[in-house]
A and B are shown apart, each in its own frame.
Chain A
Amino acid sequence: MDKKDIIAKRVAQEFSDGQFINLGIGIPTLAAKYVPNETKVILHAENGAIDIGALNPGEEADPDLVNGGGEYASINPGGAIADSVMSFCIIRGGHLDATVLGAMEVDQCGNLANWSVPGKMIAGMGGAMDLAIGAKRVIVAMEHTNRDGSARILKQCTLPLTAQRVVDLIVTNLCVFGVTKHGLVLHELAPGVSMETVEKNTEAEFIVSPQVKEMQI
């Protein structure tokens, strides 16, 4: 299985039936593919579309309906539309059960950096800062290391922050960390991944849960 699919599949296990969730672009959006059929989650997009999904094969795109990443989407029966003010009332006001966000760096205090790399092309934070501050649960879904192998789960973030002390769970292709007030706790190792591999690829300090187990994917 591809790294991204390992992460997406594990993230999808965090959702329970009826939850109201916003998925960031990239790996987080991929998680929607792995939500079991019996679990109905309601997906929210920053532009105010509620209960949306990917276009079904052969379905004609509605020119007025895109997801948070600007891709054409479909809206489920019972879906709704809010404007940007109400959409961010949902986000910032704690009305989302969870958000899944990609990250460039996360640290052991739960700080998140995912919007800016100084000197690189400018993109902008979009809705990420509001999502990180407002959702009841913030799940980070990302590859464990940078392409050059350097760590991105750090003692302290070096990139400009998206929000302070907001991350609850980190899911990577190697493992799952919970973020607690005592620091990171290793809960799961991906199949075939050793503790040494996680230690070598993680700069942050972490403690190992006594119930540490293999990721079920």
Chain B
Amino acid sequence: MKKVITVEKAVEMINDGTTLMIGGFATIGKPETIINAMCQKGVKGLTVIANDSGRPEEDIGKLIVNHQISRILATHVGTNPETGRQVMNKELELELVPQGTMAERIRAGGSGLGGVLTPTGVGTLVAEGKQIIKVDEREFLLEKPIRAEIAIIKAHKADEKGNLIFRRAARNFNTVMATAADIVIAEVDEMVPVGTIDPDEVMVPGNFIDYIVKE
């Protein structure tokens, strides 16, 4: 199967109401080409799972400003005042998730686990409505898995099999999100011939990647 597709083909898969994971942390490691195409397409009612909601003029921030997202799970939205404004006005539903819990819930979603037990959030607002499980006298929250219909992630290098290499801190949530969606689309800076990436250096094996969009 040929995995390399155009960005137009990629956004054809993203429709009104799609549940979407978007990789990245602050300004780096976000699949900007695909996000820009989503802005142009004008898909609405998205559920987005991402570390943060960017800045108003950048990446996920633009999807917020355009009112394309109706629900977002994020760890931090402080760099985009528009997110907070829409949440206060009930135009946007926000679930704040501690960053480590977000990573583990996605890992659980991609690994076939029923959830994770974490001490993070015990005794805080995060614990509301969640089951508390005692293990050897210590309290943990049961945090459920997260999956998405589509994950859009950003890598530095790929071969046509979908083997990925990331650069610096742009790896962040991109690796784990590649495991936890029905369809995974990787936007990459560079395509290299199969065989030129040493197997020891592959950061996400190609089996996880359905499609590749060259930036």
Partner-B contacts on A (CB < 8 A):
45-49, 62-66, 70, 75, 81-85, 87-88, 91-92, 116, 121-130, 133-134, 160-164
- Hey, which chain B residues are within 8 Å of A45, CB to CB? 169
Closest to A67 in B: B169
B13 at the A/B interface (Cβ < 8 Å)? no
The stretch of B4-12, B38-46, B170-178 that contacts the partner chain: B170-178
Once A122-B84, A126-B99, A130-B99 are accepted as A-B contacts, the answer to whether A81 and B168 lie under 8 Å apart by CB is yes
Docked-complex contact A81 and B169, CB < 8 angstroms: yes
Interface residues of B in 144-184 (CB under 8 A from A): 156, 166-176
- Hey, which chain A residues are within 8 Å of B83, CB to CB? 122
B77 at the A/B interface (Cβ < 8 Å)? yes
Max chain A CB contacts within 10 Å: which of B119, B121, B124, B174? B124
- Hey, which chain A residues are within 8 Å of B129, CB to CB? none
Docked-complex contact A70 and B26, CB < 8 angstroms: yes
The stretch of B14-22, B59-67, B100-108, B206-214 that contacts the partner chain: B100-108
A28 to B81, CA, bound (A): 24
Q: How far is the CB of A12 from chain B (nearest CB, A)?
A: 24
Which range holds the interface residue count of chain B? 35 or more
Docked-complex contact B104 and A88, CB < 8 angstroms: yes
Once A49-B168, A64-B28 are accepted as A-B contacts, the answer to whether A127 and B98 lie under 8 Å apart by CB is yes
Contact of B120 among A47, A65, A130 (CB under 8 A): A130
Tell me the interface secondary structure of chain A in the complex: loop
- Hey, which chain B residues are within 8 Å of A122, CB to CB? 77-78, 83-84, 87-88, 94, 96
A163 to B122, CA, bound (A): 7
- Hey, which chain A residues are within 8 Å of B107, CB to CB? 85
Partner-A contacts on B (CB < 8 A):
25-29, 51-52, 74-79, 81, 83-84, 87-88, 94, 96, 98-104, 107, 118-126, 156, 166-176, 203
Q: How far is the CB of B168 from chain A (nearest CB, A)?
A: 4
Q: How far is the CB of A137 from chain B (nearest CB, A)?
A: 16
- Hey, which chain A residues are within 8 Å of B94, CB to CB? 122
Docked-complex contact A116 and B168, CB < 8 angstroms: no
The 3 closest A-B pairs by CB, nearest first: A123-B78, A88-B100, A70-B26
Contact of B169 among A47, A91, A123, A133 (CB under 8 A): A47
Docked-complex contact A92 and B176, CB < 8 angstroms: no
A65 to B172, CA, bound (A): 11
Docked-complex contact B169 and A160, CB < 8 angstroms: no
- Hey, which chain B residues are within 8 Å of A81, CB to CB? 166, 168-169, 171
A127 to B25, CA, bound (A): 12
Known: A63-B28, A124-B75. 16 other contacts (CB 8 A): A49-B169, A64-B168, A65-B169, A70-B27, A75-B168, A81-B168, A83-B171, A84-B99, A84-B172, A92-B119, A123-B77, A125-B75, A129-B101, A130-B120, A134-B120, A163-B124
Closest to B126 in A: A129
Contact of A47 among B26, B100, B175 (CB under 8 A): B26
Closest to B179 in A: A85
A116 to B98, CA, bound (A): 13
Q: How far is the CB of B153 from chain A (nearest CB, A)?
A: 11
Docked-complex contact A130 and B77, CB < 8 angstroms: no
Docked-complex contact A84 and B26, CB < 8 angstroms: no
Docked-complex contact B84 and A161, CB < 8 angstroms: no
Closest to B123 in A: A164
